[in-house]
Structure 1
Amino acid sequence: MNKQTRSERNSKNNKKTASKIVLKIVLFFLLILVAAGGYVGWQVWSDLQSTTDNMYEAVEDRQEHAARQEKPVDVDSGEDPFTVLIMGIDNDGDNVEHGRSDTMMLVTVNPNTEKTSIVSIPRDTYTEIIGRGIKDKINHAHAYGKASMAMDSVQNLLDVPVDYYVSVNMDSMQQMVDAVGGVTVTPPLSFSQDGFTFREGEPTHLEGEKALAYIRMRKKDPKGDYGRQFRQRQIIEGAMKSLASVDSIRNYRGILDTLGNSMKTNMSFAEMQDLFSNYRGAAKNIEQDQLAGSGTMMNGIYYEIIPDEEISRVQSHLKTELEL
């Protein structure tokens, strides 16, 4: 009973921000595509395609899900439900090739029901790391084997196919926030981090360095990693809102440079076009869910243990969304 209440509470608190992570990224690209037709024409289109080409990174040695062996997803038809694994990568470098996926969300998009569902996965979830032969925190899968191992591990945990991924370097959010002129957030609690002070309920404009401090604090948050994920989503939402402004369109080159350096995906430019054309209706109906468990220490290491009944609940929900 307590677990379900906690899940529902997290869902209500985070729904508006979490659900827009993917959708705002999609809407930004759509906006650029529209601008290509009426603002600066071919040059914008060419720059966008170049950026998405830089972002593209295929996944290799995937463990194919049985459902996809029977029927591969076809986004060109606009009829197939599909999934996207969204990962916020925490590392010390300038790219997203390595590092732990400290934010993980599995998004399902169903064009037939015109519905999008987002399930947040705790970074410390104790599960099998596919291809590694061990059980560990799920956020270590990306560090061990990049996007392919992370996708396979989530696919194994939730027993649904993981078709696409988008990984974002959380450190590069500093450059992204600066590129869009900063973002404004309302902190859910008061705290200090890296020399900056944030006060609960007080709208605060954040430039890049301050924004990075805002999303990196975890230990002082009574909600732990759930609280940090909420603040990360606030920053991403604010950045994506700023991307839709006229000033951002005029500064599209700098923004595209930042996206190209900070994001990776196995979606091709053609597949992105298909998604924009065929799946926009699913953005009208969005729901947020949280895979929830309880923390425990094993050999001096903290893990999040997800009960079997909770995993079954989420698996059933996802399979319904994917018509499996």
Structure 2
Amino acid sequence: MPEQKGNPKKLRSLKTWLLYTGIAFLFLIGIGVGYAVYLYDKTENTITESHEEVGRDNEISELRDGDVDPVEDNVSVLFLGVDANGEQGGDRRSDALLLATFNKEESSVKLLTIPRDSYVYIPEVDYYTKINHAFSYGEHRASIEAVESFLKVPVDYYVTMNFEGFVEVVDSLGGISFDVPYEMKESNSQNKKNTIHLYPGYQQVNGEEALALARTRKYDSDIARGKRQQEILKEVTNKATSASSVFKLEDLIVAVGSNMNTNLSFAEMRSFLSYGLDEKFSIEKINLDGDGDYMEDGIWYYHVEENSREKTQRKLRNHLDLEALSDIDHLVEDRDSTED
């Protein structure tokens, strides 16, 4: 069979589109590049099997006036990296939270990393705790409600990916190259302590090692951890969209689909291709400023600065072309009014 060659210009556009977004957008890789290797049917079936609704009234955010369509509207997607086995054998929690807003007219994305230890109100249980706990209380639905309450930004769609999926994705690509910042010992995806041992320096890492790098935070800070995750995921997407990975896409699609849940349909996912094919497409990475400390319960929390939260709220709502915060406070005031 002759070697398949893609359109170089389109492949460069797709690579630019996926750059910096990492595992959060891997579910789109199989759709965008899959056409070139005739994996359309396999991709569609995989995505269909992964489909799961949020479970809210009419499947519409309370912060929306009606339905949205990613083909025509500005939309948001919440990406959740979840420990499939539970942290140290306990409840499943979201170890990574990223909220992306897509603006059709500007052909741009704003990608916000939410620190997992952020102290926020969780509507599902009606009290404040770490935002990553929301998933253990009500999975993606509770996580969506917590993010909406915290940021007052509608979450239209979600994608969850478990750690096993991350490991399989990296391994399906033959590993990635990464500059390890320091010597480290970490648990693997099964929470077996000190099974991952890395030394500083630029090197090839496999799926388990890449996951350990993405998860560790005992050597620096939660913010540094978030930035490191973005760099790791950048390397993953660079490798996934390289010419050398074209014939690994089938394994990549299987790795993503079998470890993912989303309320996006296959047709809705395809609509995001319009961003990647636009030459003016851009991505802005956003982080929340703050600091952490131990509270009366003896647990360490990250406290987002109010000015940073309000600035982020305004930026994301403006990007979605929504009304000012003061006009929608009544929709979320009940969620934020109680603190135990």
TM-score (norm 2): 0.78
Displacement after TM superposition at 1:313 (Å)? 1.2
Shift of 1:35: 2.8
Alignment partner for residue 75 of structure 1, among 49, 70, 74?
70
- Provide the C-alpha distance between the structure 2 equivalents of 1:138 and 1:181, rounded to a whole number of angstroms: 33
Letter paired with 1:314: T
* Shift, 1:282, TM fit: 8.6
Aligned-pair distance for 1:157?
0.8
Rounded Cα–Cα distance in structure 2 between residues aligned with 1:296 and 1:150: 23
Within a 5 Å distance, the mapping from 1:229-308 to structure 2 comes to 229-277=226-274, 280-281=277-278, 284-298=281-295, 299-308=297-306
Deviations 1:200-251 (A, max 9, x none): 4x211012333333333221x22x2223333333333333333224553323
Offset, 1:262: 1.6
- Rounded to whole Å, the distance in 2 between the matches of 1:210 and 1:308 is 35
* One-letter code aligned to 1:154: V
**Separation of aligned partners in 1, 2:158 and 2:61:** 15
Q: 2: CA distance between counterparts of 1:103 and 1:216?
A: 9
Q: CA deviation at 1:269?
A: 0.5
Q: Which has the higher mean CA deviation after the structures are superposed, 102-111 or 255-264? A: 255-264
Choose the corresponding residue for 1:60, options 28, 32, 55.
55
Give the secondary-structure state (helix, strand or coil) at the position aligned to 1:203. strand
2:46 equivalent to 1:51: yes
Which amino acid is 1:293 matched to?
A: G
For residue 46 of structure 1, report the CA deviation from its aligned partner.
1.2
DSSP 3-state at the match of 2:272: helix
Q: CA 1:218/1:59 → structure 2, altered by over 3 Å: closer, same or farther?
A: same
- 3-state SS of 2:309 partner: helix
Note the C-alpha offset of 1:255. 2.1
Query: Are residues 216 and 20 of structure 1, via their aligned partners in 2, closer, same or farther at CA, if it must alter by over 3 Å?
Result: closer
Give, in whole Å, the separation in 2 of the partners of 1:57 and 1:90. Answer: 18
Q: Which residue of 2 aligns with 1:5?
A: none
Instruction: Encode CA deviations 1:66-112: one digit per residue, 9 max, x unaligned.
Output: 541x2421223x3x11101111112317xxxx721111111111011
Identity %: 29
Partner residue of 1:213?
A: 212
Q: Pick from 218, 221, 227: which aligns with 2:224?
A: 227
In the alignment, is the contact (CA less than 8 A) between 1:83 and 1:163 conserved in 2?
yes
Distance (whole Å) between structure 2 residues aligned to residue 108 and residue 152 of structure 1: 16
Are the counterparts in 2 of residues 55 and 260 from structure 1 also a CA contact under 8 Å?
yes
Give matches, 1:119-138, under 5 Å.
119-138=112-131
Deviation, 1:21, is 4.5
CA-based RMSD of the aligned residues comes to: 2.5
Find the partner of 1:118 among 99, 111, 117. Answer: 111
Change (3 A) 1:100 1:309: same
Maintained 8 Å contact 1:116/1:282: no
**Which amino acid in structure 1 is aligned with residue 77 of structure 2?**
V
Q: What stretches of structure 1 of length at least 5 have no aligned partner? A: 1-15, 37-43
Match of 2:198 in 1: 198
TM (norm. structure 1) is: 0.81
Q: 2:168 aligns with which of 148, 172, 175?
A: 175
**1:158 is aligned to 2:151:** yes
**Partner of residue 6, structure 2:** none
Which amino acid is the alignment partner of residue 198 of structure 1? L
Following superposition, the deviation at residue 34 of structure 1 comes to: 3.2
Task: Indicate whether 1:84 and 2:77 are aligned.
Answer: yes
